[in-house]
Amino acid sequence: MDPSLTRRQLLRGGADLAMLGSSASALALIDPKDISRLLGQMPSQLKAALPAEALQAADVIGELLGLEGKAKALRLPGSKLGIGEGGIAADPERLYETAMPRLVALIDRAERAAPGLAEQAGGLLAKLHATQHVVAEALARLDSGDAPLLRLPLAQVAPDGEAIKLPDAVVTVPQEPEPDPVLGAPRTSLKYDEIGREYEDWFKAAKIRPKNADHARWHLTMMREARPRYEAVGKRLGIPWHFIAAIHGLEASFNFRAHLHNGDFPLAARTRQVPAGRPRVWLPPSDWESSAIDALRLMGFTGEADWSLPRTLYRLEAFNGFGYRRMGRATPYLWSFSTLYERGKYVADGRFDPNARSHQCGAAVMLKVLADAGELSA
């Protein structure tokens, strides 16, 4: 321990560490209103000893509660997107799932009456999004100049007779695929003609897990509320609005103050992460719609005629990457929140952790809630 710390600092910091740092379950016991105070009082040497995930959760929760407090002081109206209020269980495993909808709702509340507050919330949402987002394989290859895999349209990702070389995954521990007991494991073929029917079968079989039901319903509400914005972009590019909604949820956590490409914030600047420097020409008004059009064109989703459900799901999987399929696993990009996905996630470029779980709602599940509500249409 750093000898410059006084006995009083050690005693006070030790108590804080006992509450904040031992585990996710211990962190969940803290009154979230006290988190910012505790972190502010803690000596930096002790703060460095905290588990990174616990510290990150505490930081995000403290900021979120502070912003919600400002909205309350300003007497901002409520939002249809609101879900949950008051304290947040400070569990890093649940942080994204619980905090993301509240930040989206806060931006919605402040958008007109307090744009500065909405911008702050947009920045925090971008920070939270970064904890879940992994660069889509398509964008990574485009950014590196390796065009063959992604030379779009994505419907032609695996033409007959042309093998596609994908990087081998680095697996953190030995693992075995966990195929669905009824459907079996996903087929390893990358050819649409050979796996198109699989998408239909899996979509019919997928059930939303009870523990994710409330958040799946929130996604339905979100997509309904934002539908006019998605439709306006979709009509210009010939892309169904629900497809744009799913991409927006996964690539930017529904943040209309960030770039659709990867969730980078703010819109006033070009993207920093892969794909960096987008849009190439970026002058005012620098709005979300202009960025979204650039992103969807770059992703290669324009100019397609077939937007049937299986073709749509194929494009989504191809865009994110076929790494899960090669291992015989269901991709969370499509099936997270459903009974077809339990665990296993690429946590970084080329690094697969069989014990990690996606905390984002999969694109197929988003389309599923729309279909169940009778709203899955172009």
Q: Do residues 257 and 122 make contact, with C-beta atoms less than 8 angstroms apart?
A: yes
Residue 41: per-residue pLDDT:
57
Residues 6+ apart with CB under 8 A from 138: 149, 150, 154, 299, 300, 318, 319, 320, 321
Q: Residue 10: pLDDT above 70?
A: no
Q: Give Cα 152 distance to the centre of its chain.
A: 23
**pLDDT(54) > 70:** no
Highest mean pLDDT out of 56-65, 79-88, 189-198: 189-198
Question: Is the pLDDT score of 312 beyond 50?
Answer: yes
Q: Read off the pLDDT of residues 88-129 as tens digits, 9 standing for 90 and up.
A: 766 677 889 989 999 999 999 999 999 999 999 999 999 999
* DSSP summary character for residue 344: -
Q: Which range (255-259, 260-264, 279-283) has the least confidence?
A: 279-283
Q: What is the pLDDT of residue 46?
A: 47
Nearest to 350 by CA among 173, 175, 169, 171: 169
Strands 170-171 and 351-353: parallel
Q: Which residue has the higher pLDDT, 233 or 135?
A: 233
pLDDT class of 37 with cuts at 50, 70, 90: low
pLDDT value for 81: 95
User: Is residue 2 over pLDDT 60?
Assistant: no
* pLDDT over threshold 70, residue 173: no
Residue 168 confidence (pLDDT): 40
pLDDT the model gives residue 161: 30
User: What is this structure's pTM?
Assistant: 0.81
Most confident of 23-27, 55-59, 62-66, 141-145: 62-66
Sign of CA dihedral 356, 135, 302, 296: positive
> Rounded distance, CA 156 to CA 170, Å?
27
- What percent of the chain has a predicted confidence (pLDDT) above 70? 73
So where are the chain's domains?
Answer: 7-129, 137-372
The pLDDT of residue 327 is above 80: yes
- Whether 109 and 78 have beta carbons less than 8 Å apart is answered as yes
